Amino acid sequence: MDSSIFAELRAGVATASAEDTRALAARLAAAVPAGTVLALHGDLGAGKTTFTQGFARGLGIQESITSPTFNIFTLHRGPGPDGAIRTLVHLDAYRLDGGAQLEDLMIDDFLTPPWWLVVEWPSKVADWLPPGALHLELGHLPDRRHHLRLRA
Ligand SMILES: Nc1ncnc2c1ncn2[C@@H]1O[C@H](COP(=O)(O)OP(=O)(O)OP(=O)(O)O)[C@@H](O)[C@H]1O
Ligand SMILES: [Mg+2]
Per-residue pLDDT of the chain (152 residues; tens, 9 = 90+): 788 999 999 999 999 999 999 999 999 999 999 999 999 999 999 999 999 999 999 999 988 898 866 789 999 999 988 899 999 999 999 999 999 999 888 999 999 999 999 999 999 999 999 999 999 999 999 999 999 999 98
pLDDT for position 3? 82
Q: Domains plus CATH for the chain?
A: 4-150 (3.40.50.300)
Nearest CA to ligand 1 atom 13: 45
How many Å lie between the centroid of ligand 1 and the Cα of residue 4? 24
How many Å lie between the centroid of ligand 1 and the Cα of residue 50? 5
Query: If 0-12 CB within 10 Å is exposed, 13-18 middle and 19+ buried, where does residue 106 land?
Result: exposed
Is the shortest distance between the CB of 87 and ligand 1 below 6 Å? no
Pocket test residue of 49, 74, 137, 148 for ligand 1, highest count of atoms within 8 A of CB: 49
Nearest-angstrom CA–CA distance, 133 and 38: 6
| Predicted TM-score (pTM) of this structure | 0.96
